[in-house]
Amino acid sequence: MLNPYSSSLTDKEWEIIEPLLPKKKQTRPPTWTKRQILDGILYQLKNGCNWRDMPRDLPPFSTVYRYYKEWKDTGTFTAIMEALHSTAREQSKKIKMDNFNHH
């Protein structure tokens, strides 16, 4: 699954966000990657659907919600959103400067 939804992270966004996520000792390989889980969270927040109504190609709603709650409670989700907003602001400034320089 590579960016099937408008809410899905780009590779560049993922590079910025991945280091912000908590590292946990893995006893077995995860069924879902953290990127897939975060894509599920962003899908739900963007579309405002019930957690149970998320598309079937995303991780199960119970997994997505559990990570959302954990990351929200620990401040991780705030850090993720701040990083995404900062990236969007920088891209917007770059586009404005590029447009200004071409006129």
The chain-wide mean pLDDT, for the chain, equals: 87
pLDDT of 73 > 90? The answer is yes
Per-residue model confidence as pLDDT tens digits over 44-71: 999 999 999 999 999 999 999 999 999 9
pLDDT of 19 > 90? The answer is yes
Between residues 101 and 19, the one the model is more confident about: 19
What is the percent of the chain with per-residue pLDDT over 90, rounded to a whole number? 65
Q: CA of 102: how far to CAs of 44, 91, 93, 94, in Å?
A: 39, 17, 14, 12
Band the pLDDT of 76: cuts 50, 70, 90: very high
* Secondary structure of 1-28 as H, E, C letters: CCCCCCCCCCHHHHHHHHHHCCCCCCCC
